[in-house]
Amino acid sequence: MMNRDHKTAMRYLNRSLAAILLGATALAVTACEGSKAVYPERDKLTGQRVFRDPSQPNQEQGLFGPGGLNLFGGGQQAQPGATGVGVNSFLWRASLDTIAFMPLTSADPFGGVIITDWYSPPESPNERFKTNVYILAKALRADGIKVSVFRQVRDRDGAWVEATVANSVATDMENAILTRARQLRLAVLTGE
């Protein structure tokens, strides 16, 4: 009797193990079907290593790789120059290029704000300028950039006092930044 119960128990155990193995194999096969190969490559704008799915060349990059958590993109199709930080990379680079002669106090690529320190031109040491540049958009547009220019002059006692700045100065700087941004964009599009 004991022998017969033992054989029944072993048969039941073998069937249970076979069912578990079959289920595990089926689960492994279905898990492998949905996976995609991901290959490392370099991002053209930043030069950083990224992982992209070769079957989806225009795939958005997320925080955890392709199709992962994308905090800034929202699943929209990215246009050239739009970065994951909320500002246009062409406007950002053009702004830095245009005000490169002035010392920087702060440059925030996430917020799109560049603040310079006071700069005195060599030809007029009794006058100094300060500039704030605000990049307001992801797109390369004329209303995507705002420049504020401040001016001070020395009084008789040698102290700096506020002075007026012509409105055309800020507009001219905005136009110079936009012109440079268009040049940078054209260089990327033509592959130069």
Residue 92, class by beta-carbon neighbours within 10 Å (0-12 exposed, 13-18 middle, 19+ buried)?
Answer: buried
| Dihedrals phi, psi of 146, to nearest 5 degrees | -135, 130
Mean pLDDT of the residues in the chain: 75
Low-confidence ranges of the chain (pLDDT < 50): 33-39, 51, 53-55, 61-72, 75-78, 81-83
Report d(CA 154, CA 125) in Å as an integer. Answer: 9
pLDDT at position 63 is 44
% residues pLDDT > 70 (the chain) = 58
pLDDT digits (tens, 9 = 90+) for 32-74: 544 444 445 555 666 555 545 444 555 554 444 444 444 445 5
Domain coordinates of the chain in residue numbers? 1-33, 36-78, 89-190
The fold for domain 89-190 equals: Alpha-D-Glucose-1,6-Bisphosphate; Chain A, domain 4 (3.30.530)
CA quadruple 175, 177, 180, 186: dihedral positive or negative?
negative
Predicted local confidence at residue 124, as pLDDT: 92
| Cβ 177 vs Cβ 98: under 8 Å | yes
Tokens, residue 28: 């492994």
